[in-house]
Structure 1
Amino acid sequence: MKFEVTILGNSSATPVHNRNPTAQLLNCNEKFYLIDCAEGTQQQFIKYNIKGNKIDHIFISHLHGDHYFGLIGLLSSLHLNGRLKPIQLFGPAALLEILELQFKHSETILRYPIEFTAVTADESRVIFQNSDIIVETIVLNHRIPCTGYKFTQKRRLRKLIIEKLEAENIPVEYFLLLKRGLNLDLPNGSVLLNENYTTEAEEPKSYCYCSDTLADGSYLAQLKNCTMLYHEATFLHELLDRANVTHHSTALQAAQVALESGAQHLLIGHFSSRYKVLQPLLDEARLVFKNTQLAMEGVTYTIA
């Protein structure tokens, strides 16, 4: 089962040369989920050969422009390109008002419906699930209401030991029952013990997305033991005072969050435009949490 994230933007506040503000594309079993949609996201789609029409779910963390200013353009382009199927949009309640106002004054009537779910930053809750994934909110501490998102794979059925089943001529109609973990009584009186014909599926993986936040520890429980954590790291720790004033985190703090939450991997991003070279941010984070990578644009990271 494919589970990976492609970084489309890793800059904070404003675009800089060769760096765009925040947007990410999560691929779970060839279903695509857009996480935040900054200015320039459509250009990144073109650059990295991403088909916007394959995206059916969009998650917006908060209403600072570097996380959603590309959304109206994307939705408009999908309309112009003939999209008919619905798109599910998750974000702060005021986001729908903003979109409707822009569509009203541009006299745009979309060909497709937007199925909007208002997300509140008061407590963590499940906001979406399908056959592949469960999505929960992560309550963050930013200057305005802000939610991160936790994407967790659903547990798969057990794996069949096909060679053994075929060698013993076990009928195919029993396979699904075995995958569900059942022991089977056969007509001849024998019993198929599930443990002899199946193995456990892989443990579900999770991806936690923390967009903009003070690293105050209030959300640690929601991140517990995630497979991969993306955490903003706007500043080096020497600018901690600036991070606190703007309700952001330092690279060192992001690493501490990864360590304390039991994350297996850490991606850091949302870098201030003052940093033309990103290596010092990575070096600082690795002082605390060695399994850290920079969230680099155009790179796809496997969540495993």
Structure 2
Amino acid sequence: MTAGGHEGHDHGPAVTGESERRIRLVFLMTAGYAAVQAAGGWFSGSLALIADAGHMVSDAAALLLALIAYRVAARAADAARTYGWHRVRVLAALANGATLLLLVAWIAVEALGRLREPVEVLAGPMLAVAVVGLAVNIGGVLILRRGDAGDSNLRGALLHVMGDLLGSVGAIAASIGIMLTGWTPLDPLLSVLVAGLVIRSAWGLVAESLRVLLQAAPRGLDARAVEADLAAVPGVAEVGHFHAWTLTDRSDVATVHVTPAPGADPLALPALVAARLRERHGIDHATVQVDPPGAIAPAAH
């Protein structure tokens, strides 16, 4: 006997128009300024600006991918994709993190070349462009931080923009340092420093996306502890074969087998078990199979 313990079968959260609007606005800001920054970096000879411009181009592409992902995720489930399209958002978040890591590697290689062969840097134009970039990036961070914190695409976009913000800070620091000391290696050194600050956040986004795609148990969920808890539900005699995974960044699902205690109504168990999973363990959708008494082997999972 199998039953779902959740009213309806909507396996994913609604894609919010607010998140999409916020990312669209930041995309336009980022893409527009990237062109200005690239021109400024070329004119001034600043690697910090060029690297940050490349960062912003990468971010603009990632934001565009996120926008496409929202549109795809909003499509209804069909016979071939019964869970719908929500995991496209997870793929987009993975792409965001991966492109950020690739950009960090590019900045490091370019900086090493600049350290071996220093080039002239025009600190004044570099500072002016970097200050404008800082203002643009602060605006982008404020827009995205006010959005849905549980949305992995929005978090990915925020990480990108925060990386850009750090890049602008590095460019400002480098330009001021060059003005005061004339030491041009400050430019590539600070570029590497900014890139290093981005690695941890980018890797965290990649790792979390991979956890979802590999159907790992939701973070913080102990499967054995959940089984023990479900065994205490009135009417449940045995619990086994418990599996849980994250469907999207905001929806956890699970399957579990139970057997009825003597005198218990088997038809009532799926709703009771699903309610326990939802209220105590945050499982949004549960499929509960009721097996005959004694059918669940103690070591079977």
Q: What TM-score do the two structures reach when normalised by structure 1? A: 0.26
Structure number with greater CO (CA < 8 Å, separation at least 6) is 2
